[in-house]
RNA sequence: GUCCCCAUCGUCUAGUGGCCUAGGACGCCGGCCUCUCACGCCGGCAACACGGGUUCGACUCCCGUUGGGGACGCCA
């Protein structure tokens, strides 16, 4: 694998190559997305290469559906890799060759211990309150019965300390005698995670491994493998984990964690990324970032070391901000989709483009926007929201609405400005307060007590529906 | 249990020995704006886990305690 050299002002420097390596045993969740985001951001700033590698060495649990979900989730978030996706299942021979080489060099050995005997061993160790681990009893075995299954284990160094300078966690050290002889190849002949990771990280020229800190305890084992294989050890950056509201590692029982669920729920990819990037990383007191700003500013070495708890309220606020600052055109597809799901079919884009600006500051999600915009598409808003009708509609004199309706009916053009003028004239003529007329009208038009400015609401609803709903309300009041 | 990691408002964080009477943001409360709801603006509540050191001086450095998390698979 070629390593690329880039010239930097300060001299020669190896181009950074990073990878995101999910296992396809489920959807892409929000914690994984954050890891991928940090990885991509850091790599982009340095002009390096971001690689996607699917770790499917567990054939039992890996599924195509999970692969698809991961790819779709990453694409939605703009986390497309520069290289890949690569699949570990395509590299099996490479892993097996490496394992064989270690056996040949006396750095790994066949172990014939049964699962049962090892389970028993671990159980007694647990009872003695020491760390459960394989005791290496097959290290010195000389008989290799041909008809019995075996695994290949790595001869972990028994003395010394393995340490590395983590880019986030600083120095981490493990006494080697804490580690046992890990399995490289299973009894069915398939390679395991730790072997595959090391072989791939080397063959793909990975220079920096960015991953969750739940992998910290794997790192000394992987470093041993790099060393045994005579390969350079990459740098590491272990990210603090994302926790659920109960303070534990985020998992399915914490509810909506699939990235695609956030799309369903009306979140914008830029907003989700913005929220995620602020979990463990900051740039002074800045809260809001565009994608470009993140790419220019993000540095993995500035990531904090403590875990963060996922907080929906802040995500909602950030999503609201991104909805407000987006162009109507950018929001069009998401709103169309939401309306379609509400059963309104396909709405003309031109109409939606007029509607969107009036609702951008009023919705924290696209789902919420679809709900607020709903009254524009239904045939009738009856029954009215009971509280709204009681408070605003029923106390109003029907004559006021009749006067307004007649005035509006005479308008030659149905434009927001003209409507506003007309409305104010009626208010003046009736010697009413603006709100005393706007609120009942609002209930008549929307069925609720809140909407955009009353003239905008009338305009967006259109002449026919507006007049019809006023008529409907007048009838309702006179009952 | 063993090993590894972490510890500032409820949450995300700023803070790298004096600038801290600890700053910002979300949320919450109050107000302003206003035809409603939002947006926006102004104000308020709210934190350095604890105990020892080191130092003229600790949120900041060291040690311990407590608390939390992670790992301990023929999963990744």
Q: What is the pLDDT of residue A245?
A: 86
pLDDT at position A263 is: 96
Interacting residues of A224 by C-beta distance below 8 A, sequence separation 6+: A154, A156, A157, A162, A176, A179
| A54 backbone dihedrals φ, ψ, rounded to 5° | -90, 120
Nucleotide with minimal C1' distance from the CA of A133 is B72
Give residues 181-200 of chain A lying near strand B (Cβ < 7 A): 183, 186-188, 192-194
* Nucleic acid strand B: bases within 7 A of protein CB: 1-8, 10-14, 23-27, 34-40, 68-76
d(CA A221, CA A112) in angstroms, rounded, equals 21
Residues 387-416 of A with CB under 7 A from strand B: none
The single-letter DSSP state of residue A5 is E
Task: Return the H-helix or E-strand segment holding A239.
Answer: strand A235-239
Handedness of CA A25, A27, A29, A32 (dihedral sign): positive
Which residue, counting CA atoms, is nearest to the C1' of nucleotide B25? A287
Confidence check: pLDDT of A6 > 80: no
Question: What's the pLDDT score for residue A2?
Answer: 39
pTM reported for the whole predicted model: 0.93
pLDDT score of A4 more than 70: no
Look over chain A and give the mean of its residue pLDDT values, rounded to a whole number.
93
Q: Which tokens is A71 given?
A: 């790819």
Q: Above 70 in pLDDT, residue A9?
A: no
What are the structure tokens assigned to A139, written together? 């290290």
Q: Name beta bridge partners: A11.
A: A8
Strand B close to A55 by CB, under 7 A: yes
H or E segment and range at residue A304: none
How far is Cα A71 from Cα A77, in angstroms, rounded to an integer?
Answer: 10
pLDDT over threshold 60, residue A7: no
Per-residue pLDDT band for A101 (boundaries 50, 70, 90) equals very high
pLDDT exceeds 60 at position A44:
yes
Query: Is residue A142 very low, low, confident or very high in pLDDT (cuts 50, 70, 90)?
Result: confident
Please, where are the H alpha helices in A56-138? 64-76, 92-104, 115-127
Nearest residue to B12 via alpha carbon and C1': A279
Which 226-285 positions of A have CB less than 7 A from strand B?
A: 240-241, 243, 247-249, 278-282, 284-285
- What tens digit of pLDDT does each residue of A252-294 get? 778 768 999 999 999 999 999 999 999 999 999 999 999 999 9
ipTM, two decimals, is 0.95
- Residue A349: its pLDDT value, please? 96
Q: Is the pLDDT of residue A429 over 90?
A: yes
What's the average model confidence in pLDDT over A403-415? 95
> d(Cα A43, Cα A300) in Å, to the nearest integer?
9
User: What share of chain A in percent tops pLDDT 90?
Assistant: 87
Q: Which residues fall within 8 angstroms of residue A222, CB to CB, at 6 or more apart?
A: A194, A197, A198, A201
Can you tell me the mean pLDDT for A15-40? 96
**A434: helix, strand or coil:** helix
Q: What pLDDT score does A11 carry?
A: 35
pLDDT band at A8 (very low <50, low <70, confident <90, very high): very low
Token digits for A420?
């506003």
Q: Once rounded to an integer, what is the mean pLDDT over residues A177-201?
A: 96
Structure tokens at A152: 């290949």
Which residues of A carry out catalysis? 252
Closest CA to B74 C1' — which residue?
A186
Pick out the nucleotide with least CA–C1' distance to A168.
B5
User: For strand B, is any atom closer than 7 Å to the CB of A435?
Assistant: yes
| A144 confidence band (pLDDT: 50, 70, 90) | confident
**Can you read off the two tokens belonging to residue A371?**
């709900």
Strand, coil or helix: what is A242?
strand
pLDDT at residue A1, rounded to an integer = 38
Where does residue A234 rank: exposed (0-12), middle (13-18), buried (19+ CB within 10 A)? buried
Angle at A25 between CA A19 and CA A28, to 5 degrees: 55
Residue A92, CB, strand B, below 7 Å: no
Of the listed ranges A143-152, A298-307, A454-463, the one predicted with least confidence: A143-152
Read off φ and ψ for residue A401, nearest 5 degrees.
-70, -35
pLDDT value, residue A14:
67
- Asked whether residue A332's C-beta has any atom of DNA/RNA strand B within 7 A, the reply is no
What is the rounded CA–CA span in Å between residue A446 and residue A198?
61
> Is strand B less than 7 A from the beta carbon of A304?
yes
């Amino acid at each position: 694998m070629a390593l690329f050299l880039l010239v930097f002002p300060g001299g020669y420097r190896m181009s950074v190559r990073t990878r995101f390596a999910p296992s396809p045993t489920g959807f892409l969740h929000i914690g994984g997305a954050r890891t991928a985001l940090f990885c991509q951001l850091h790599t982009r700033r340095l002009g390096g290469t971001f690689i996607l590698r699917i770790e499917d060495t567990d054939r039992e649990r890996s599924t195509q559906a999970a692969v698809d979900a991961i790819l779709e989730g990453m694409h939605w978030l703009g986390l497309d890799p520069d290289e890949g996706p690569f699949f570990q299942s395509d590299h099996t021979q490479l892993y097996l060759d490496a394992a064989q080489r270690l056996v040949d060099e006396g750095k790994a050995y066949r172990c014939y211990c049964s699962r049962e005997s090892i389970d028993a061993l671990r159980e007694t160790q647990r009872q003695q309150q020491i760390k459960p681990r394989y005791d290496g009893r097959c290290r010195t075995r000389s008989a290799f019965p041909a008809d019995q299954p075996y695994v290949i284990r790595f001869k972990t160094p028994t003395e010394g300390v393995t340490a590395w300078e983590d880019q986030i966690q600083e120095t981490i050290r493990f006494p080697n005698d804490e580690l046992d002889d890990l399995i490289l190849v299973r009894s069915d002949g398939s390679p395991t995670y730790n072997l595959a990771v090391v072989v791939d990280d080397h063959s793909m020229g990975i220079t920096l491994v960015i991953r969750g800190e739940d992998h910290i305890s794997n790192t000394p084992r992987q470093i041993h493998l790099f060393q045994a294989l005579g390969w350079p050890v990459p740098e590491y950056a272990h990210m603090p984990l994302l926790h659920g509201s109960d303070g534990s590692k985020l998992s399915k029982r914490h509810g909506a964690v699939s990235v695609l669920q956030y799309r369903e729920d009306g979140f914008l990819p830029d907003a989700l990324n913005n929220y995620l990037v602020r979990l463990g990383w900051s740039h002074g007191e800045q809260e809001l970032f565009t994608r470009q700003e993140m790419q220019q500013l993000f540095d993995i070495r500035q990531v904090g070391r403590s875990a963060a708890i996922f907080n929906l309220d802040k995500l909602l606020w950030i999503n609201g901000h991104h909805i407000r600052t987006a162009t109507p055109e950018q929001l069009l597809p998401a709103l169309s989709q939401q309306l379609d799901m509400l059963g309104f079919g396909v709405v003309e884009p031109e109409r939606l483009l007029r509607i969107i600006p009036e609702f951008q500051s009023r919705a924290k999600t696209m789902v919420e926007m679809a709900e607020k915009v709903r009254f524009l598409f239904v045939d009738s808003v009856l029954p009215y929201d009971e509280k709204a009708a009681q408070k605003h509609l029923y106390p109003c004199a029907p004559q006021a609405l009749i006067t307004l309706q007649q005035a509006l009916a005479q308008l030659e053009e149905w434009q927001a400005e003209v409507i506003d003028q007309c409305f104010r004239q009626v208010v003046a003529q009736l010697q009413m307060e603006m709100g005393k007329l706007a609120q009942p009208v609002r209930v008549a038009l929307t069925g609720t007590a809140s909407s955009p400015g009353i003239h905008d609401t009338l305009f967006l609803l259109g002449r026919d529906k507006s007049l019809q709903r006023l008529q409907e309300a007048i009838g309702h009041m006179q009952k």
